[in-house]
Each structure stands twice: as C-alpha cells, then as structure tokens.
Amino acid sequence: MRTSEVPRLPAAVALTAVGAGAIAGFAVVARRRRAVEPDRWHSVTINCSPEKLDPLPAPLDELGFPVEVRVQPAPGDRGTELAARVAPGADPERVRRLRAALRGARSLAEIGEVLLPDAPATTKPTLRSAPLAYATKHGREEGRL
C-alpha cells in the first residue's frame, strides 16, 4: 500500500456506523421534544419564607405573558417552593423564558440581585472556547433549575 492511499472501511461497517449515528440523533431529538412540555410545572426551592415572595420577584412579573404561579412551603422545612407554568399550547420559547425567570427570581430573593457571568468575558474568544461560551450564554434557559 502506498502512503497516499487511505484505508477504507468495509461497507457494512460504514453503514452500521451511519445507522447508529442516526438512531442516536433521533433519540436526542425525541428527548428534547419531551423535555419541553409547556403545561408542565417548573419549580425552584428558595431559601426564604413564603411571605418574602409576596409580591412576586420582578423576573416573573415582567415576563409579558400569563403564567400560573404556586407558592408553598418546601418539603422538610427547606424554604419555599416557587412553581410556575405557562398556558397549554405555548411555544417552547416561552418555557425557556419562564425557566430563566424562575432562576432570576430565586437569585433575587436569596441574595438581592441576579448574578450574571462576567461581561465582557475575561478570555479571548477562540474556536476551543466556543462551546463554553455557548453554554454560558444559554445555560439559564434549559436544564436543571
């Protein structure tokens, strides 16, 4: 074999790899679709008394669309549970904004301000730091509250 030739995989191995990749891709898409359920309750536990959340913190009041809110003592005397959900049939963008507002409300109630990452960033943007920059920018929209 000459050095310029690239070894090729058998066709069956290549098709198996492509098929496995497609199945994994479908699983990720299906999981994301399940994760964004507009009529689902989203909640945070806040280290304060329920009376401190009346009136609601500004991030929830300033959403610009109707939300149903529930405030109750958290299980085991661990603060207050603040839960909210958007109207059924709402688009996923409203759910992301609601989740970010819940995080902001928790931060505001516990420490008095909404903490944000450094802006401008303390490092230069590079190709290797792009995933971290994306995760920092969108981290408050999805995932765990």
Give the pLDDT confidence of 38-94 residue by residue, as tens digits. Answer: 578 999 999 999 999 989 899 998 898 989 999 999 999 899 999 999 988 788 889
* pLDDT digit string, tens, across residues 85-127: 998 878 888 988 999 999 999 999 999 998 877 677 667 888 9
For residue 68, which of 53, 52, 88 has the smallest C-alpha distance? 88
In this prediction the pTM is 0.63
Give pairs for 35-38: CB < 8 Å, separation 24+: 35/142, 36/92, 36/95, 37/95, 38/85, 38/86, 38/87, 38/88, 38/89, 38/90, 38/91, 38/92, 38/94, 38/95
pLDDT of residue 72: 94
Per residue in 17-40, pLDDT (tens digit) is: 555 555 656 555 555 555 556 578
Q: What's the one-letter identity of residue 20?
A: A
